[in-house]
Amino acid sequence: MESEKGITKYFGVNLAEILSNKILIVYPKFDKKSYIKAVSIQCPKLSYSQRIDLHAQLLCQYLPNNYQEAINILKQILGEENPSETGMFAIYYWIMPIAKYVEIYGLHDFSVSMQAIAEITKRNTGEYAVRPFLRKYPEKTIEILSLWAQSENFHLRRLASEGTRPKLPWSTKLDIFIDNPEPVFKILSILKEDNIRFVQKSVANNITDYLKVNYESAKELLQLWSKSNNKNTQWIIKYSTRKISVKL
């Protein structure tokens, strides 16, 4: 999509209309008029990210109080999965408040939220939503991500890498695995021969992040991988070191 400033316009009343119309199909009690009015009043002075937060907060206000019931409604409006490596923002941008809803309100229900994140990332992305779960439930979340890294769905495989990046753009630093990156590196090792470029780039960017926050550990990983003749692994190594010189 466009720059952050340019895309702000997509997350106002127009998005409230889109979400309301989809929700009403499966939840006729949804108060579309009040939702849109609240957005129209509060959105004009908000940034792109603040608007996403606002939509998530209003979804919480106008959907059922029961989290599982609300998530079930939101999952039903997601529609067909994205078959492409592109379009997650250009086409499926309207799903971003749903991911934010899970991120903010779903921490108390690990299983239901993980299932929701899996469905969200098949259309848009769950890379931001999954990070609070990595902080609160590191072992359980890593276990799920390890399974996703072996999924037939490349969006889930990509999330296993992208969600664990220590310096994911537009997100707070994921400090929990910086000093001990082994859990993340095990996931990246599952993905190091992936045939999908979308996944390869995520793995490479994850390693680039680690070269910035834990250079020695990332270098050791790359030295180990450099022994491989796999073309995908070699591409990942080259891409991850394109801006940071590493002697292998």
pLDDT of residue 1: 43
Give the mean pLDDT of the chain: 96
Q: Check pLDDT > 60 for residue 4.
A: no
AA letter at 200 = Q
36, 15 contact by CB (below 8 A): no
pLDDT of residue 50: 97
C-alpha 16/C-alpha 54 separation (Å) is 11
Q: Check pLDDT > 70 for residue 35.
A: yes
Q: Check pLDDT > 90 for residue 61.
A: yes
C-alpha 166/C-alpha 209 separation (Å) is 6
The full set of domains in the chain, from first to last, is 1-129 (no CATH), 150-248 (1.25.40.290)
Band the pLDDT of 5: cuts 50, 70, 90: low
112, 106 contact by CB (below 8 A): yes
Flag whether the pTM goes above 0.85. Answer: yes
Band the pLDDT of 40: cuts 50, 70, 90: very high
Q: Is the model more confident about 2 or about 25?
A: 25
C-alpha 177/C-alpha 213 separation (Å) is 10
Band the pLDDT of 3: cuts 50, 70, 90: very low
- Average pLDDT on 182-197 reads 98
Band the pLDDT of 87: cuts 50, 70, 90: confident
- Average pLDDT on 62-86 reads 97
Q: 107 exposed, middle or buried (CB, 10 Å; 0-12, 13-18, 19+)?
A: middle
pLDDT of residue 2: 44
Band the pLDDT of 177: cuts 50, 70, 90: very high
pLDDT tens-digit map of 108-164: 999 999 999 999 999 999 999 999 999 999 999 999 999 999 999 999 999 999 999
C-alpha 68/C-alpha 64 separation (Å) is 9
pLDDT of residue 165: 98
Q: Provide the percentage of residues in the chain whose pLDDT is more than 90.
A: 93
Band the pLDDT of 54: cuts 50, 70, 90: very high
pLDDT of residue 6: 64
DSSP-derived 3-state class of residue 194: coil
- Average pLDDT on 4-17 reads 86
